Amino acid sequence: MKPIRSRSVRAVVAIAAAGSLALTGCSSDSGNESKDRAKTQDDAASQQKPVQYADAAASNGPAAAVAGAKSGGTINVYMQSDLSHMDPGQIYVSDAGQFANLVHRGLTNFQEDKNGNLTVVGDIATDSGQSSDGGKTWTYKLKKGIKDEDGNAITSADVRHTIERQYAKFIFDGPTYVQTWLSGADYRKDLPDGPFKGKHLPDTVLETPDDETVVFHFNQPRPDLPQALSMAGYAIVPEKQDTQAKYDKAPAALGPYKISEYKAGKSLKLVKNTNWDPKTDSVRHQYVDGYNFTTTIDQASQTKRLIADQGEAKNAIQWTDPVDTAQIQDVVTDPVVNKRTVKGYQPYVWQLSFNLDKVKDKKIRDAITYAIPSQAMVQADGGRYGGEIAGGLFAPTLPGFDAKYDPYGKLKAPNGDLKKAQELIKEAGVKKGTKLTYAYSNTPRGQAQQVIIKDALEKLGYDVQAKEIDRATFYEQVGKLKNPYDLYMTGWGQDWPSQSTVVTPVYDGTQVADGSPNYSHINDPQVNKLIEEALKLEPAEAAAKWEEAHKRILEEINPAAPVYYSKTIQLFGSNIGGAKYSTESSYIDINNVFLKKP
């Protein structure tokens, strides 16, 4: 998330920094509430289909025109802090991900239909990829006419360079999926200096037989590769333009916009990239002349300006910040203002993670799960505008979401089932006054929620030791294997719309290590086997296997009690057209906006 990190630990760290999230549903430009997969959990369950992989025909540009779209003018962007990164290799955060879709391009990208269903299309590649050798080999052909902002043709050498630079030590903040799949968990040892000293990965791993062909060779099937390559972190960095660590401040564009001015911590200006050819792009548009980012406007001020809708605010949007919690009622109770919102689920599930090395008895974990008043936890994060009670560990943004799945009865008993919890505590033989340590982040939400958690645990007879951790190091501290805490609130969201990017990083026992997001230290042979089997299947076939793993994790082991699903609500000015919620980004769909009156 942040800014939310696209589907990882930092994602949730930034949610904490940003404050509350918000509502569900979606509004059209006319202001009429439209049925949306994010309006309710039932809508989410029924409308989002498994991700599809597109052929060359679906990958051809130009992108389908947005109804009523006009060209010209500049959109103003409100942010409360600078972009986390601009170098694709470092991008793993949602604010930078939004930026990347305007400026960068990768081998693949997500195309979203009017119902929010997603298809992987070829971006600079001709299609979503051709697999062979049982899914171990993936071949990509490049489209003709792809150039960077200076007019340099993009070739397979630039794709190879993009992947290999991810091995370099100065790249530390981006995704690691493809590198790990190619070279193992300790991938940096295979190319410690990246490609910058003339060394390359062998052709048996990454092959570029000609200027238009790229071939990935894996040691096992990797059916999710087209989705992984759509991440902003794997967008192309042209070899001629690469300035290594300095690239983060002045990257070269392949997308419809390029940087014209950047003042760190203050502002950023994007203008049209004249070397972007819409005929090669089936996802993006270039309706406006540019974007003016101001990165010094806090959430409260953003919200006030957009509610007032005066002057330059009419042409403004919130980027990844949500509406200020204190002003949500002013937004949703005013029909005129409420028409200018996008609303939807975030991919993050907040959960109470148990340290299984310390809380070893499942009856105790179940008791605590039943005791948590999830509704009160939601209230501490903006109420119904900040989230909805979670029944499971898979968010409504995932294909195949089951709105009825609720093994611990959280939806039926939103304030917890204290009687059931106390019965289990008694069966477990827990003595009154037993110490239990709860770690929490020192954010306003974290502080409010620790009071709720402490109260619930004390009702079970525990002597609760609440330990405050600075939010900047929270995940670092609870990510230590030998951490001194019994339980802690954590959050996670998918890196792309697949359960694989939830189950594998968070519940795979082979990934228990310092710094791993397996915060509970779960290491169950049956879960590990299900993960191994699911990773070899195509997305549609893998879904049932991931759900089997999900039920095993939650019902038979319970390493983390689901608490609530996050939501967001964002405002835009009255002159913004084409604004809608994006399933893929979980924010305003930046690919479709324009100015009604340029």
Check pLDDT > 90 for residue 9.
no
Tell me how long the chain is. 598
pLDDT > 90 in the chain, percent:
84
Query: Do 275 and 385 share a domain, yes or no?
Result: no
| pLDDT tens digit sequence for 437-450 | 999 999 889 999 99
Domain C-terminal end among 192, 220, 254: 254
Between residues 469 and 23, which one has the greater pLDDT? 469
CATH number at residue 287: 3.40.190
Averaged pLDDT for residues 520-544? 94
How do residues 296-313 score in pLDDT, each as one tens digit? 999 999 999 999 999 999
Q: How far apart are the C-alpha atoms of 454 and 180, rounded to whole Å?
A: 40
**pLDDT value, residue 27:** 26
Report if residue 357 sits inside a domain.
yes
Amino acid making up residue 129: G
Q: Which residue has the higher pLDDT, 511 or 385?
A: 511
Point out the domain boundary residue: 227, 254, 281: 254
Summarize pLDDT for 553-575 with one digit per residue, the tens: 999 999 999 999 999 999 999 99
Q: Residues 6 or more apart from 351 whose CB is under 8 A from it?
A: 390, 393, 489, 490, 491, 492, 560, 561, 562, 563
Q: Are residues 557 and 577 in the same domain?
A: no
CB atoms within 10 A of CB 105: 27
Mean pLDDT of 323-342: 93
- What per-residue confidence (pLDDT) applies to 48? 65
Q: Provide the pLDDT for residue 511.
A: 87
pLDDT of residue 515: 87
Asked whether residue 233 falls in the same domain as residue 354, the answer is no
CATH number where 383 lies: 3.10.105.10
Both 464 and 400 in one domain: the answer is yes
Q: Which of 220, 254, 288 is the last residue of a domain?
A: 254
Residues 54, 127: contact at Cβ < 8 Å? yes
Average pLDDT over all residues of the chain: 91
Confidence bin at 46 (pLDDT 50/70/90): low
Q: 24: closest CA among 37, 43, 38?
A: 38
For residues 167 and 266, membership in a common domain is answered with no
Q: Is residue 26 part of a domain?
A: no
Nearest to 395 by CA among 540, 568, 177: 568
Structural domain that includes position 125: 88-254
Q: 501 and 354, same structural domain? A: yes
H runs (alpha helix) in 240-391: 299-308, 328-332, 335-338, 362-371, 374-379
Residue type (1 letter), 483 = N
The dihedrals phi and psi of 441, each to the nearest 5 degrees, come to: -80, 140
Assess whether 501 and 448 both reside in one domain: yes
Of 28-42, 144-158, 194-208, 272-286, give the lowest mean pLDDT range: 28-42
Query: What is the CATH classification number for the domain harbouring 113?
Result: 3.40.190.10
Mean pLDDT of 404-428: 97
**577 and 476 in a common domain:** no
Q: Does 108 fall in a domain?
A: yes
Q: Is the domain of 313 the same as that of 357?
A: no
Mean pLDDT, residues 171-198 taken together: 94
Residue 61 has pLDDT above 50, yes or no: yes
Q: Over 80: is that where the pLDDT of 5 sits? A: no
| pLDDT of 321 above 60 | yes
Residue 46 lies in a domain: no
Report the alpha-carbon distance of residue 148 to residue 238 in Å, rounded. Answer: 7
Assess if residue 68 is contained within a domain: no
Chain centroid to CA 364: how far? 32
Does any domain span residue 386?
yes
The answer to whether position 61 is within a domain reads: no
Angle in degrees, CA 484, 487, 490, rounded to 5: 115
The pLDDT of residue 19: 31
Peptide bond into 62 cis (omega under 30): yes
pLDDT tens track for 195-204? 999 999 999 9
Orientation of helix 444-458 relative to helix 362-371, angle to 10°: 120
Do 235 and 375 belong together in one domain? no
Q: How far apart are CA 306 and CA 537, in angstroms?
A: 46
My answer on whether 537 and 562 are in the same domain is yes
- For a pLDDT cut of 70, what percent of the chain falls above it? 92
DSSP one-letter code for 101 = H
Among residues 292, 295, 287, 233, which one has the least CA distance to residue 260? 292
How many Å apart are CA 113 and CA 118, to the nearest integer?
7
Question: What is the average pLDDT across 88-111?
Answer: 95
Distance, in Å, from the CA atom of 196 to the CA atom of 128, rounded to the nearest integer, reads 29
pLDDT band at 26 (very low <50, low <70, confident <90, very high): very low
Asked if the model's pLDDT at residue 535 lies above 80, the reply is yes
**In the predicted structure, residue 10 carries a pLDDT above the cut 50:** no
Q: How far is CA 253 from CA 148, 149, 227, 306, 594, in A?
A: 6, 5, 21, 30, 20
* Model confidence pLDDT, tens digit, residues 205-214: 999 999 999 9
Q: Which residue has the higher pLDDT, 218 or 50?
A: 218
Cα–Cα distance measured from residue 404 to residue 407, given in angstroms and rounded to the nearest whole number: 9
User: Is 205 inside a domain boundary?
Assistant: yes
Q: Which two tokens stand for residue 425?
A: 């505590």
**Cβ proximity of 221 and 533 under 8 Å:** no
Q: How many domains is the chain partitioned into structurally?
A: 3
Say if residue 126 is in the same domain as residue 191: yes
Residue 251 · residue 238 · CB < 8 Å? no
pLDDT digits (tens, 9 = 90+) for 361-383: 999 999 999 999 999 999 998 78
pLDDT tier at 500, thresholds 50, 70, 90: very high
